[in-house]
Each structure stands twice: as C-alpha cells, then as structure tokens.
Amino acid sequence: MKAHLIGTALWLAAGVAQAQSPAELTLQQAVARAQRESFAARAAASSRDAATQRDRSFRAGFLPQISLTGDVPVYNRSIIPVLQPDGSTEFRAQQQSQAGLNARVSQRLPWTGGDLFLQSSLARLDISGQQRTRNWQSTPFLIGLVQPLLRPNVQAWDTREQGLQFEAAERQYLEAREDVAVNTANAFFDLYAARTTLRNATNNAAVNDTLYTLNQGRYEVGKIGENDLLQSELALLRSRNALNAARLEHDRALAALRLQLNMPVGAALSIAVVDQVPSFEADTAVAVEQALRNRAQMTLLELNEVQARRRVTEARLNNGFGASLQASVGYNQSSPEFDAAFRDLRNAQRLSLALSTPLINWGQRNGQIEAARADERRVDANRRLGREQLIQDAHFAALQLQQARGQLELSAKADTVANKRFDVAKNRYVIGRIGMDNLYLAQQEKDQAIQAYVQALRGYWSAYYRLRRVTLYDFEQGAVLRP
C-alpha cells in the first residue's frame, strides 16, 4: 500500500550517513517492553509488591502469636516503713531484686473480636534487710480469654477493609500497566508522525528545489513572470524551513520514546508501523459489564461504603453501654525452693466483667451517629455517581474505537487520492498544462491528507488501548487482563 505510510526505518536528515539499522520495533513490542522495563512500570510493580507484603503481614496477625517477655532483673534499694511488734513503725533499709519470665501464645478470634491466650510464667523475688528472704512463684499453665461485649468487632471490619484494599491494589496495578501502554502508544505515534512529517518535508524540499530550477529557466526565456518565480522561491524557502523544524521534532520524539522504553540515551531505535488493525468488534454491553467487574474504582467505591458503615457502627456502639469480659484458668504455686514451686500446684482462676455506660453526654453520641449516617449518605451518592460515570466511560470507549476504525478507512482512501492527485498535478505542471497555484494547492492537500491518515492511525490505537484501560478486558482475545 502507500509507500510513505508503511515505515521500515527511521528517516535521518538529508545528507547524513547512517549505520546499519537496528531491528525494528513494532507497537506491540514497544508496549510489551515498556510494561516490563519502563520507570512507570517498575513503580507500579513496587506499589503492588508493597500492597502484597502489607496483606501478608495483616494475614499473619491472625495466626498464633508466640512471645517471650521478662525482667532480668528489677533492682530496688530504699528505706521503707516497717511495722514493729509493739505497733510502732520504724524506717529500715531494704534491698529488693525481682526477676520474671513469661511465655505467651495468643490467638485472635476474628468472629467475635476477642483474644484467646495460653501462658506460662516464672518469677523470683529476693528481699534483704533485717532478714533475707527468697520466694519463687510459678504459673506453668494458664489459659484465658479477653472478649469485648456490645462493642464493634474491630478485627472483622479490619479483615473486610484489608481484603478490599488488596483487591483494589491488584486492579490498580493492571490499570497502571495499561496507562503505560497508552503512553507508549502515544510516544510511538509521536515518533511515527514526526518521521512521516520529516519524510514528506524532505520530498517537498526536493520537489520545490526542482520546480524552482525549472521556473528559473522558464523565467529566463519569458514563459513565466517574475511574480511566479518569486512564488516558487518562497515555496522553496518555506519547504526548507519546514524540513529543519521536522528534523528537530523527529529528534525530540525519538528521545521521548527512548525515555518511555527506558533505553539509554543515543541507543539505536527503529520502529515499524503497518496499516492493518485488528478486525474485532467492541460490544458496548460487554465493555460496561467488564468495566463494572474489573475496575479498581468499583472496589474502592465498595471500600468507601464499608468504611462508612463501620463509622456508623462505631459511633453507635462505642459511646453506648458496653462491657469487657476477662476470664482465665490454670495452675500456680509459690515456694522458697525452686523445685517446690512446681509441686502441689493449686488452681488459679480469674473472672472479671467490666461495664461501661454513659449517663449524660449532652447529645454527643447522637451527634456522632447522625454525622456518620450523613457521611454514609454522601458515600452512597458518590458511589452511584462513580458507577454511572464508569458505565459511560466504558460505553463511549467502545463506540470511540468503532468510530476510529471508520475514520482510519476514510483517511487511508483520502491519502491515496491526494497523493495521486499531486503526482498528476506535478506532471501536468512540468509540461505546462496547469498553473503554479493549482500545483501548490495539490501539494498542500497531499500534506494534509498524510497528516490526517497518521492521526487517524494514531487515534485508532489510542482508542484501542484506552478501551483496554477502561475495561481491563482484551476484546481481541476475549479474556480479562492478567498481570
């Protein structure tokens, strides 16, 4: 098809020699490299890894936790009051040394929000003053429960929020990869447009130079007037100026694509562009369905809704009647002798129920509840709006791709016609059958048709990758995008 639109190598400035061209990079290869090597892709991967590690850390908190604590030792020397046999009190110097070790296994209970623990401890107390004493105290086994009552289940809320946050992070990573694809496609076609412009500017400069030489000869023999010669010279100067601008834009676009692909400055880079595009149809209903199912925005909206309900629950329960139950049962013993502290163990039991209720809070509780409910209504409104916006984005992204394919077909035909018209006009001008104005008009229309085709091709691929970004769905393969 059109030779000036199927690229196989980068155009360089006229008169500059070029070494052997590197392997050409297609758009799909450029996108794959950028999603693997670019700075933005690495940042997205790091964000996903951080979210993964936070999720692992959170999940690990629900496994049995084993800890060891102790004081070895605690030393205190002071003067203390000592009660005498006759009822009087005297102040005597005393030294006290205490050491203890405690091993504990605890398990969080996400269904109830409580904590179950298993504990073993050993302590020693040495006192020296008027008389020296030593005592060992052991608790070989103790099992207990700490359970809040009529209070929010913090562990259950945290679990649900963490699950949504991790799911959103996974989807945000996929969206970030598609953002890289969109930006890479834009940089790729920036270079393609600059290359096409440079090639066309080079051709125009060569044609206008030939025409100016031809017109000089015609002017000398009196076939054209001075005005036509000056118009031809002006066209040549403009074409040379356009060529210089095209060279600069080409170098800028080449550097931008290198940066997008994370390639070293000055690294050889060549792109290959073909005019064939995928032939699939993007159904708007499928686009909406996949967007609602796959987008991180839907997960974040659900997370906001869960957080709003949590605030309502906390405002209702934290400031009302509540209780905390602590119960434990086990065995312990104490003795001056170490071995005796583990014989003839005695039951150790503890039960406590702490109650808490506000009497007068001057409407503080009701105010907090109403504020939380108002926030819940706000979140619900934003969720509905966000959902509808997402539906519209997916719907029109599918339509835009269909329209872009139609525009590409029309632009390809227009480019073919305009290029052929210019060739005919140039040949007819050379033989003197048309005037200079018609020739330059044909050249201008040819330039516009070339740019329109390049932009249409760019528009199609931009719409293609935008649809993937909006839906996280590959319509060409019929599959949900995966990392």
> In the structure encoding, which two tokens stand for residue 309, read together?
């309900």
pLDDT value of position 20: 37
Domain 24-57+158-306+376-480 = CATH 1.20.1600.10: yes
**Percentage of residues of the chain with pLDDT beyond 70:** 95
- C-alpha span between 165 and 157 (Å, rounded): 12
Burial (0-12, 13-18, 19+ Cβ within 10 Å), 264? exposed
Q: Give the dihedral sign, CA 164/169/170/176.
A: positive
Averaged pLDDT score across all residues of the chain: 88
Task: Compute CA 357 distance to the chain's CA centroid, rounded to the nearest angstrom.
Answer: 45
Question: Which of 93-97, 160-164, 381-385 is predicted with the least confidence, judged by mean pLDDT?
Answer: 93-97
Is-contact 476 461, C-beta < 8 A?
A: no
- Residues with Cβ within 8 Å of 223's Cβ and at least 6 positions away in sequence, in order, are 432
Q: What is the pLDDT of residues 104-118, one digit of tens each?
A: 999 999 888 899 999
Task: Compute CA 12 distance to the chain's CA centroid, rounded to the nearest angstrom.
Answer: 38
Q: What is the pLDDT of residues 119-144, one digit of tens each?
A: 999 999 888 866 788 888 999 999 99
Q: What are phi and psi of 277, to 5 degrees?
A: -130, 160
Is-contact 472 480, C-beta < 8 A?
A: yes
Does the pLDDT value for residue 381 go beyond 60?
A: yes
pLDDT value of position 9: 31
Name the most confidently modeled range: 3-7, 12-16, 42-46, 232-236.
Answer: 42-46
Q: Which residue has the tokens 């109403």?
A: 370
Once rounded to an integer, what is the mean pLDDT over residues 341-363? 88
Residue of 453, 446, 447, 450 whose CA lies nearest to 407: 453
What is the residue extent of each domain of the chain? 24-57+158-306+376-480, 65-109+114-151+323-357
pLDDT value of position 19: 35
Does the pLDDT value for residue 452 go beyond 50?
A: yes
Is-contact 385 297, C-beta < 8 A?
A: no
pLDDT value of position 51: 95
Does the pLDDT value for residue 418 go beyond 80?
A: yes
Does the pLDDT value for residue 327 go beyond 70?
A: yes
Is-contact 209 14, C-beta < 8 A?
A: no
pLDDT value of position 468: 94
Does the pLDDT value for residue 12 go beyond 80?
A: no
- Higher local confidence (pLDDT), 280 or 385: 385
pLDDT value of position 11: 33
Prediction pTM value? 0.81
Does the pLDDT value for residue 70 go beyond 50?
A: yes
